[in-house]
Amino acid sequence: MTESSMTNSDYTSLQVEDKEIVLVGTAHISQDSVETVIRTIDEIIPDTVCVELDTQRYQSLINKKGWESLNLKELIKKKQVPFLLSNLALSSYQKRMGLQTGVKPGAELAAAAQTAEERGMAVELVDRNIRTTLLRVWRKTGLWNKTKVMASLVGSLFEKQELNEEELAKLRESDTLSSMLDEMGKVLPSVKQILVDERDTYMAYHIRNAPGKKVLAVVGAAHLPGIIRLLQGDKISPETISEISTIPLKTTFSKMVPWLIPGIVVALFIGGFFFGNRDQLANAATAWILANGLFSALGALLALGHPVTIISAFIAAPITSLNPTIGAGFVTGLVQSFVAPPTVHDMEHVGEDLMSFKGWWQNRLARVLLVFLFSSIGSSIGTFVALGWLKDLF
């Protein structure tokens, strides 16, 4: 239990058993936060500095050439394109906000880690793996809330919001953040629980168990109230951390859904052969090929895919629509990455390019992702259009 606590303008200090834990709440695009973090490290001289990062995000912050090592083809094969898209959408939004203050998103976290290393202090990355967090959100959120989350992500890509250091300082205030989080909890309770509450628990556990008698933790201001409350409460069990670090398995229903449409289509063709109008079978097969192929090819065209990619969409979609393990986007994304591979310049500047609508089509990396997405959507639309035509078999 906490024996005492102290707050000044820069940080909150807690005495947790025999350990002093100092917490700094920051804004991820604020120069004031960068300066506050460095000043606090030099002032309190902690044994360990904990930062709100996982290994993947830390490497992306300190490795300016990290995009050069991105294996896009391997990501497509491992079906991690939606994860990459979500990451890019979030980073693009943060980067756009950061341009207004001249600060790279997460600069204060990188500054905390680098300053600690320079002064010979231990550094602990205490946040949960970003992929685990995003997959927990996706798999524990209902269809309607998933739609709202996706709409928010897409909207953030084109949202224009002016922020300065004064407004960021207001956002760091506890009352303002509490009301924002309460509102988020009402609209998207499961998302708020996973994105905020679970991460508060995860970080509080690792901060409390960090080595040294004096520990400094640098976290986003939104996490500060929850982490303080958890540090002042009973110890968090390792079992709790294990549970919230686990990616939920897909439900039986979610595993069955991708096979539902192919099953209906196959059943319609079999039923048409035995009980329906056999003369219509050839027309129905043609309709299936044309609907899937044309709509998927149209999606690839809208993404400004290479002509070879557009042709591959037309050929692949009628087949992949009957096999949920391989989507049309899987094929078109791979083809696009082979015939028009992203350059090093595309990799390095993808964040900046995604801040404009036009940039999504100009950047070759982004265009591969658009080809993947649009051809997949086109194939899905074509499937439903073809289903309407297949009823003529009876």
251-273: average pLDDT: 68
Dihedral of CA atoms 37, 38, 43, 45 in degrees, nearest 10, equals: 90
3: helix, strand or coil:
strand
Task: Read off the DSSP letter of residue 20.
Answer: E
Structure-model confidence comparison of residues 31 and 116, the more confident one: 116
**Does the pLDDT value for residue 183 go beyond 60?**
no
Q: Which two tokens stand for residue 189?
A: 């309770």
Q: Which amino acid is at 393?
A: L
pLDDT digits (tens, 9 = 90+) for 185-233: 556 677 788 888 999 999 999 999 999 999 999 998 889 999 999 999 9
105-134: average pLDDT: 90
Longest alpha-carbon distance in the chain: 85
Q: Where are the beta strands (DSSP E) in the chain?
A: 2-7, 12-16, 19-26, 48-51, 122-125, 214-220
Asked which of 50-64, 149-163, 353-367 is least confident by mean pLDDT, the reply is: 149-163
Q: Considering the entire predicted model, what is its pTM?
A: 0.67
**What DSSP assignment string belongs to 186-238?**
HH-HHHHIIIIIHHHHHHHHHHHTSSSSEEEEEEEGGGHHHHHHHHTSSPPPH
The label of the residue with tokens 């696009």 reads 336
Beta bridge partners of 124: 50
Under the banding of pLDDT at 50, 70 and 90, the label for residue 278 is low
Q: Which two tokens stand for residue 313?
A: 């969409």
| Torsions phi, psi for 201 (to 5 deg) | -65, -45
User: With helix as H, strand as E and coil as C, how does 153-194 read?
Assistant: HHHHHHCCCCCCHHHHHHHCCHHHHHHHHHHHHHHCHHHHHH
Cβ neighbours of residue 49 closer than 8 Å, sequence gap 6 or more: 41, 112, 113, 115, 116, 121, 122, 123, 124, 215, 216, 217, 218
Structure-model confidence comparison of residues 334 and 67, the more confident one: 334
> Distance between alpha carbon 237 and the CA centroid of its chain, in Å?
27
Under the banding of pLDDT at 50, 70 and 90, the label for residue 238 is very high
Candidates 186, 177, 187; CA nearest to 223 is: 177
**Does the pLDDT value for residue 310 go beyond 60?**
yes
pLDDT digits (tens, 9 = 90+) for 27-82: 766 778 888 999 999 999 999 999 999 988 888 777 655 555 566 666 676 666 66
Element (H, E) at 112: helix 107-118
Q: Which two tokens stand for residue 294?
A: 């044309």
